[in-house]
């Protein structure tokens, strides 16, 4: 889409005005051990302009501890209190296998996501979407280290920063959450609006190193990093492979 100088003032003007009337609802599912940036990144992008209502949902209203020490989030609403959303977003975690036992969470994701206009995730949140039976036959992104796990749930792994397949929008690992947020914002509010948000956030990344993907980092660094990631996973969840297979089987049994 080609932008004109006349389009930008309108986009900027709408950014500065809080939305009035009924707002769409975006729900982030928060859970123990989640990666904070997976939610903070897209939430920061999507809340600009006040055009939607954001809820942070969990089974109760007690603080939820993330994978970073001393950082926790307070849920705004419970699964029982929320049964319909316009945008569902599942953040990721460094160990999604440990979260696959949260069956009430997966069932809620399936129930609400099955009728949501937009079903989305960041990082390994797509593995949780898959475990909730919402990615079968859909192209999806996830953290590069766990891309193959999407196959277990009938998803089609795509090694991209952001993937859109119909009403599924999935982001790659951690920092891709900002790109994901801007991409989703453009789909819903238009490119000019999203571009204005990007400018307001001064999102113009210049990474100090060119090693953010395996093909850039090289085989030696990639293998060492992969080993470190799964060493941590195995320490926390020794039977993670069995958990993954069991979770995939549950889809056909339950959903």
Active-site residue numbers? 123
Residues paired with residue 233 on neighbouring β-strands, in sequence order: none
Element at 191 (helix H, strand E): helix 191-200
Cα separation, 168 vs 156, in Å, equals 12
Single out the residue of 229, 233, 205, 226 nearest to residue 41, CA to CA.
205
Structural tokens at position 185: 């914002």
* Residue 57 contacts residue 85 (beta carbons within 8 Å): no
Q: Which residue has the tokens 């989030």?
A: 73
* Residue 107 contacts residue 29 (beta carbons within 8 Å): no
In sequence order, which residues have a C-beta less than 8 Å from that of residue 104 and are 6 or more positions away? 59, 79
Please, how many CA atoms are within 13 Å of residue 49, restricted to the half-sphere of its CB? 22
In sequence order, which residues have a C-beta less than 8 Å from that of residue 191 and are 6 or more positions away? 1, 3
Q: Which residue has the tokens 């238009």?
A: 190
Q: Determine how β-strand 72-73 pairs with β-strand 64-65.
A: antiparallel
Cα separation, 59 vs 216, in Å, equals 40
């Amino acid at each position: 889409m080609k932008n004109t100088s006349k389009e930008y003032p309108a986009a900027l003007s709408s950014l500065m005005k809080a939305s009035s009337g009924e707002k769409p609802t975006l729900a982030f599912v928060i859970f123990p051990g989640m990666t904070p940036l997976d939610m903070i990144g897209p939430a920061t992008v999507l809340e600009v302009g006040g055009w939607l209502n954001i809820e942070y949902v969990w089974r109760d209203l007690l603080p939820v501890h993330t994978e970073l020490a001393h950082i926790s989030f307070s849920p705004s609403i419970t699964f029982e209190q929320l049964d319909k959303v316009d945008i569902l977003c599942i953040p990721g975690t460094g160990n999604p296998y440990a979260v696959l036992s949260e069956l009430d969470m997966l069932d809620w994701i399936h129930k609400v996501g099955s009728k949501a206009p937009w079903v989305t995730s960041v990082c390994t949140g797509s593995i949780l979407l898959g475990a909730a039976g919402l990615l079968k036959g859909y192209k999806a992104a996830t953290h590069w280290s766990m891309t193959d796990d999407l196959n277990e749930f009938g998803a089609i792994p795509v090694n991209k920063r952001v993937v859109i397949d119909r009403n599924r929008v999935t982001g790659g690992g951690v920092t891709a959450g900002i790109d994901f947020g801007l991409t989703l914002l453009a789909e819903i509010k238009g490119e000019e609006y999203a571009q204005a948000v990007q400018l307001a956030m001064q999102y113009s990344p210049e990474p100090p190193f060119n090693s953010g993907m395996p093909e850039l980092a090289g085989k030696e660094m990639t293998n060492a990093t992969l080993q470190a990631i799964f060493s941590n996973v195995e320490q926390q969840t020794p039977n993670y492979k069995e958990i993954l297979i069991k979770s995939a089987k549950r889809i056909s049994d339950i959903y």
